[in-house]
Amino acid sequence: MDHPAIAIVHYHLRRGGVTRVIETASACLTKAGIPHVILCGSPPEGRHRLPVKIVEELGYENETSKSASGLRMVQAMRAALRETFGSGRVIWHLHNHSIGKNRHFSDAAGILAESGEPLVLQYHDFAEDGRPNAYPTIADSESLYPFAPQIVHAFINSRDRQHLINAGLPEAQTFLHPDAVTPPARVKPLPRRPRRPLVLYPVRGIRRKNLGELFLLAALAPKGTRFAVSLRPDNRRWNPIHEEWVAFASDTGLPVILDAVGRVSPAPKAPRTYASWIKHSTHFITTSVAEGFGLGFLEPATIGKPLLGRNLPVVTNDFAKANIIPGTLYDRLLVPDSWVGLETLRQKLVRSMRAALESYRQPMSNQHLERSFAAIRHRGYVDFGNLPESLQRQVIHRLLAGSEHHEILAQTGHKTQPLNEWLAETLAKTTPTVTPDQLGPYTPKAYLRRLRELYTMASEATPETPFYLPKHKVLKEFLKPGSFHFLCT
């Protein structure tokens, strides 16, 4: 029997994590001879050979027609499928329908759920998880999380999966579906290793990537070390924060290059391309405070580059189950609390937390406040990564003005040591902590196998009328007291 056609649906195909996932899925399906089409709201960036159909209604809400609706979106998507496949069987594969970028996409997911057609809902991010500005878009939806045997919920990490199970999603209708890990670019190694470290952070410099931590590391790294962030934000909302860091780099002279790709060359006479930056880098880094799958933790190993930076147990705990240690990572960077002023910190916490919780239509309780304040503090220290940018800059200015370099500590498990010593030791390492053999669970071949399982689960189930998770229970899972983070607001 012929395989049903797959309709992969997302808002866009701009450069970024979800686009990489969709590109990999499309390559896997093409290789396997499985018919598919990608529906998105605008043409892909750059060159591509993807089977794309544009459905304008799918764009972000501020980019689409005011007269759009969930029903019109479904009608437009069905019309695009008829043009491509005629009237054959289809499995719908929706990415991030509940993230709050377009309320009509959430409504369309509910309409498709009610139709009884096989449906895969894949989650990369959640509006409930550190995205208070996105949540109001979908706050009134009563059909955000439909569930029935023919609807498979795919998660890229175990924590998110467990949160929705705790909220009432039947475990049998869930599927752990981590991303495939492929080289970010094809590059030949340099004939000689650079004399000084060049540390690349291959991300867009949005707020949760925690750029301030990169500046702190640059202030304490061995002389001659350079740090670079590949791209600036593409969301205008993050531009003011990014520009503050651009100005800070200029004011302090710290060796941090922002928006490097296409603008600056990594070495004399070298191209300014992404591949060139990868080729000339000696290490990759992550200072992010929130990720879905954490592709950046494993990609460096595919090109033989060691990784350093901040550990995120939400993603690295899954890697540990595969016996993977993705890099040399710290759990916290500890700064004496006297450097920030606890009362100042508390006042900023009250203001930021109240505003975030109001966006989620939740009151701020003393329990929320005290647990979050306690989560930032660690026996006379605070974690630099959970400070607002103004206090991060205050810490770095003090560091640059004095000789207290040993006062900043890197904590790994129960061990602490001065951050400058940790950096010198870590940057001296030239090989990844991950071997290519260990990446077996994350190869495209393994990814295709999981895709087939997903689609079989959805298409072979006996359709039933869907139920819907109570959205307040989902919100409660993500908004547990102590979970607040300044850089996720």
Per-residue pLDDT, 1: 46
Asked whether residue 65 carries a pLDDT value surpassing 70, the answer given is no
Per-residue pLDDT, 64: 67
Radius of gyration of the chain (CA): 23
Q: Name the more confident of 151 and 49.
A: 151
Pair 176, 158: CB distance under 8 Å: yes
Pair 93, 7: CB distance under 8 Å: yes
pLDDT (tens digit, 9 = 90+) per residue, 106-138? 999 999 999 999 999 999 999 999 999 999 999
Query: Would you tell me how many other CB atoms lie within 10 Å of the CB of residue 65?
Result: 11
Asked whether residue 158 carries a pLDDT value surpassing 60, the answer given is yes
Average pLDDT over residues 280-301: 96
Asked whether residue 449 carries a pLDDT value surpassing 80, the answer given is yes
pTM value surpassing 0.85: yes
Structure confidence at residue 45 as a pLDDT band (50, 70, 90)? confident
**Cα-based distances in Å from 9 to 25, 77, 93, 453:** 12, 9, 6, 19
Structure confidence at residue 88 as a pLDDT band (50, 70, 90)? confident
**123: which strand partners?**
155
- Pair of tokens at residue 253: 């002279």
Per-residue pLDDT, 3: 84
Q: Which domains does the chain have, with CATH numbers?
A: 5-180+443-479 (3.40.50.2000), 198-333+386-395+420-436 (3.40.50.2000)
Pair 487, 210: CB distance under 8 Å: yes
Distance of CA 191 to the CA centre of its chain: 34
- Pair of tokens at residue 340: 């920030």
Average pLDDT over residues 398-424: 95
Per-residue pLDDT, 152: 98
Per-residue pLDDT, 230: 96
| 52-54 and 5-9 beta bridge pairing | unpaired
How does the average pLDDT of the chain come out, rounded? Answer: 95
Nearest of 189, 216, 209 to residue 282 by alpha carbon: 189
Pair 352, 387: CB distance under 8 Å: no
Structure confidence at residue 16 as a pLDDT band (50, 70, 90)? confident
Residue 174 amino acid letter: T
Average pLDDT over residues 26-30: 96
**Cα-based distances in Å from 167 to 162, 344, 392, 454, 477:** 9, 36, 36, 22, 7
